[in-house]
Amino acid sequence: MKTNIFDRVSFVSLFLVIVLLPFFFLPFTNIPVETSKGLLLVVGLTVCVICWCLARFFDGKIILPRSATLLAGGGIVLAFLLSAFLVKVPQVSFFGTMFDIGTFWFTFSAFLLMLMSSIVLRDPRKAKIVLFGAILSGAIVLVFQSIRLFFPMFITNFLSLGVLASKTDNLLGSWNAFGIFAGFLSFMSLLVVEFFPTTRVERWLLQILAIFSMVMVAAVNFQFVWELLGIFALIIFVYKVSLASKAKESEGVSGAEHGKNSFPVFSFVIIMITLLFFMSGNFIGGILPNSLGIQNTEVGPSFSATMGVTRSALKDHLLFGVGPNKFSSAWAMYKPLVINQTINGNDFWDVSFNSGSGLLPTLAVTTGLLGILMLLIFFIMFITSGIKSIFSSIKNGVNWETMAFFVLSLYLFVSCFFYSTGAVIFLLALAFAGVFIGLSSSSHHKGEIVLSYLSDHRKSFFSILFIVLVLIGTAAISFRYIERLVSVSYFGKAITAPSIPVAEASISKALTLYQNDLYFRTYAQIYLVKLNSLASKDAATLSEADKASLQSSLGQSVSGAQLATTYDPTNYLNFQSLGAVYQKLASLGVKDAYSKAIEAYTTASTLNPNNPGLKLSMAIVSVANQKTKEAEDYANAALTLKPDYIDAYVILSQIAKSRGDNVLALNYAQKALSISPTNTDLKKYADSFKSSTTASTPTPTTKKPK
């Protein structure tokens, strides 16, 4: 009796994790949508694992799938563990800022989700409940987002929920990730329509949902989704026709009658729609986004750039990689120089990308040769077993749930390879893969491992000890995670605080609960703002309390930036932040601050060698310190990295002007103007050199270096 109760609770908790993932979030909080998904995952898995262990404690029997794919998944977790242990900053690789995707603990939780899905959901009845629950969950997400798109008046009044601001803000993460999920929901509905027994009403509802999902895909207008959906719909079409041909041969049904009853019309319609949008490009695909006023401006590293970073990173960190959750450091160190010369280069030459062109290639970059090998073995095992299952279904005409979960998880894994999908898509892929593994193992003779330990006191002792340790470990890790999650709320309050005292109190509470470099950098910035506020006052009006606060803010801002560099000495952003702090202190007359700013910027430039903005920052500091020769060298170094860098030309022009060389100053100003001929400030600046009556040359307002 107790076993049945605990097993039922374990199933319900796992079911809720899978079904609620697409739309779960914490409204009216300062916790980002994707971060809140981690709460659902951790709490749901904790309840699932604890109840499953208690059930095993009472019945004395453990049933596990006999699966090489599961073993390969364990190999991936082991590769992440070794890589995280052996890097310089294990704290970043184990947990990150907040359970970041790509960290060891996130990867461990994700593959634990797959393992528990294979154990708990190996019953076809339970698997079907999960499948229809996922469809219902997806429908809720689409209806919610469609109201936000087609009735924007509700965004600010009701459906923003304190978290979602713009039209494209959604419950999946990025706008393109939402498009991938909408395509997935359309494909899932198609599978059920073509292979599962349904009533006429259910069939019509699923077909309407599939078409509605495609409307939402059209609203996103992400070409990759049309390609993916079209290819998988074609696979279903061919598969259904193959089944129909086999049935025709075995039953002797006439061709006309069989074609009337079995031709997959709906799959054919889906294929034609996807082909229309794929072939027409923006001619048809842009109609709905344009009418809704949606602009999809998402940017990220290309596949070729990601592979280039991978090759460079493997040369220096072959076996274990740069470490889980360290793609941003790898990108900063090895990014291609061409990124500075692209048309949109001004937009992201100083962007710290946390992932590459796809989620799976990102994992390969960070875990080295061992991680790549484990990932390859996992997918080879997974695809091999899935293909065997598909052909078994053709041969026997059964096992539709197994086939469906394999194809659905494959759709999601392909999405993760070509795009950085975020946590939800990746977790659903592993959960569905786990269901497939469980169903496949339970349907085969000797497909499961049965461990019975109550009859042997030695086995009983060690088995019960193992179960108790799992219970304690699961609970302890969950409590630790909850504590760190609370820090996110305080951090959100700190960056949106209406006043400096509120920001100080919030960031201090966040750091008390969990310390990381992002919090430390924010801590430094808050006290730097406070320092600026006090320094802007007239010195004669400062009270003794103000002077003490000024001195304290100075120390706190430096301390915060220094602690960030100590936490992660491989992140150039930490040293860039430290350089900015010292640069500000130098402007206030703090001794040796200029040299310390140069030192910090130099370290940042070493970690991000192709970033021209860091060179320019050093040039600006050198100009302020009246070291014009060094400033000129730094500015020229910035131009070497980015020949169309307007700010560098402006600095060089100002240096030439300070030396009295107005001809050279004008030359630099004209070069800057040729890059941005519509910049009125640059035009006034260049024209000022031609006027002999100009008492002073105005300084142009250009884009501030990042």
DSSP 276-315: HHHHHTHHHHTHHHHHHT---------HHHHHHHHHHHHH
Structure tokens at 167: 């039209």
Question: Bigger pLDDT: 228 or 245?
Answer: 228
- For residues 327-335, give the mean pLDDT: 91
- For residues 668-684, give the mean pLDDT: 86
- For residues 644-664, give the mean pLDDT: 89
Structure tokens at 130: 């999960």
- At 264 the pLDDT is 83
CB within 8 A of 546, min separation 6: which ones? 534, 537
Looking at the DSSP bridge assignments, the partners of residue 451 are 62
CB atoms within 10 A of CB 600: 27
CB within 8 A of 104, min separation 6: which ones? 77, 80, 81, 83, 84, 93, 94, 95, 324
CB within 8 A of 680, min separation 6: which ones? none
Among candidates 586, 434, 354, 337, which has minimal Cα distance to 113? 434
Instruction: Grade residue 9 by pLDDT with cuts at 50, 70 and 90.
Output: very high
- Domains of the chain, earliest start first: 2-174+298-452 (no CATH), 515-609 (1.25.40), 626-706 (1.25.40.10)
CA angle 435, 444, 58 (to 5 degrees): 65
pLDDT, tens digit (0-9, with 9 covering 90-100), for 567-619? 999 999 999 999 999 998 988 888 889 999 999 999 999 999 999 999 999 99
Instruction: Grade residue 191 by pLDDT with cuts at 50, 70 and 90.
Output: very high
> What ranges in 514-627 are assigned the alpha helix state H?
517-535, 544-567, 572-587, 593-607, 612-624
CB within 8 A of 435, min separation 6: which ones? 117, 118, 121, 122, 127, 130, 401, 405
Is the pLDDT assigned to residue 226 strictly greater than 90? Answer: yes
Q: Is 117 exposed, middle or buried (0-12, 13-18, 19+ CB in 10 A)?
A: buried
Average pLDDT, rounded, for the chain? 86
Is the pLDDT assigned to residue 203 strictly greater than 70? Answer: yes
First to last CA, the chain: 64
